[in-house]
Structure 1
Amino acid sequence: MNVGRESGTWMPSDWGASGTRLAVPLVVDFKAEPYTGEVDRLIGRKAMKVVPVESEAIYMTEGGERKVKVGGGGWTIEPPAAGGPAVIRFWLEFGAGAAKRDVEIPTGQVFFSAAGWMDEEVATGEKARKELLGLLEGTIGEEFKQASDDYGRAGLFEKILKLPRLVKATIARDNAVAKMFEIDKSMPKKNDIGLKPGKFPLVESRFRMAEGGLCVKRNGKMGGSEEYHILGTWGCSPVKVISDTM
């Protein structure tokens, strides 16, 4: 966990204003057992259990080593939709006292979310992107360049005859670029590629997660509905497979 002020957060203006970051390392166990308690709407209706391996997390401040109690919660994976990746969401329960300068983790639920990909999704996306890039640099790109050059050199009346070819080549190029955009949207970003994949409960193959976001639920301004306020970021890598239960 990398807790601190982020762009766009609705946390109080003095929270994290100094730029301080509070790093809290955790080891958690994602289980394939149903969570039977109440589940927040941010997570979804049905959730599985996630529990910290240790009941306390250790973090450092200027005053030395500190501890905060951490309890379990629930997790879900939202399948890929609308061209985007899958999204994992879960929460953990934090006790009081985790603070460093003007950054403090509020007592209660802290929500985690991040995009995730199975190995097959990454391989399929990379293959499709490579093939499409080959077309853009090859036949589609060459046809567009030649059609553009021919149209540019043509006289006024000859342009009328060459325009349909240019329009067709432009549409083909634009469609290929749009497909490339959709592929990139669904794939890990460059700085996510190095994330180490690992076995994950209820997921058929190895699974990797990008850097994600942290948030907490707070009362809305002026007595409005509850809001989720950005608390920081988090990242992860597999430690070991604790259970292969499906």
Structure 2
Amino acid sequence: MLQVNNLEVVYQKIILALKGMSLHVPEGKIVALLGSNGAGKSTTLKSISGLLAGEGGQITDGTIEFQGKKINGVTADALVKQGIFLSMEGRRIFKDLTVEENLMAGAYTRKDRSNIKADIEKIYGYFPKLKMLQSRKAGFLSGGEQQMLAIGRGLMAKPKLLLLDEPSLGIAPLLVKEIFQNIKKINEEEGMSILVVEQNANVALSIAHYGYIMENGRVVMQGDAASLLSNTEISEHYLGIGKEEEKNYKEAKSYRRRQRVVW
């Protein structure tokens, strides 16, 4: 579905943000892209979705292919029509519109207007809380409810590839679990390919088929989700799961250097 090949991205012609980034998203699978702040995760999504230029970024090397076609330089609106939709970090819902009006906005590029009402009901099936709040202005929703709305708005565009940027950010743990369970359900029932960027590695890998770990603009580790979670050294040193605070810092750095050589 998606192939990113040795991508290099520069901001303001000075700051090198991605340094040979590569990943692929198979059709119908969930892929998690993990890493700390500043690793380059959001830049990767903006490159794929066509939003990079608006923030002063430029792809200087490498290619992005969607369904076998190169999409470097394709505008964001054209990519939405081709089937790529990005649910951005911070949710970015229309706060002065109602829940249902936000969902309608997600279907703006669609031509099958007769199916929109049924698709809104399908969104309410995935997120019943939105059904109860359909006439409320989105600005009055909780953070978790706004995230549900942001994902629902993305689904209304009928994407082939859904990009999710930090869907757990600023949300209570119970709602995070509910949202990720719904993401998994959407993948299973719709067959939709999903690339999710997360800092909460545990919850992301619990629903993903495959995972990539980024550091300083490049992939330093990859593998199926179960193997990444089950490898104690990987989960502690890269994912922040376990007793990393009890590890010697020098040992951690040494491990990372060894793995870069191996991988």
Q: Does the TM-score normalized on the shorter chain lie above 0.5?
A: no
Give the TM-score of the pair, scaled to structure 1.
0.22
Give the TM-score of the pair, scaled to structure 2.
0.21
Q: Greater strand percent: which structure?
A: 1
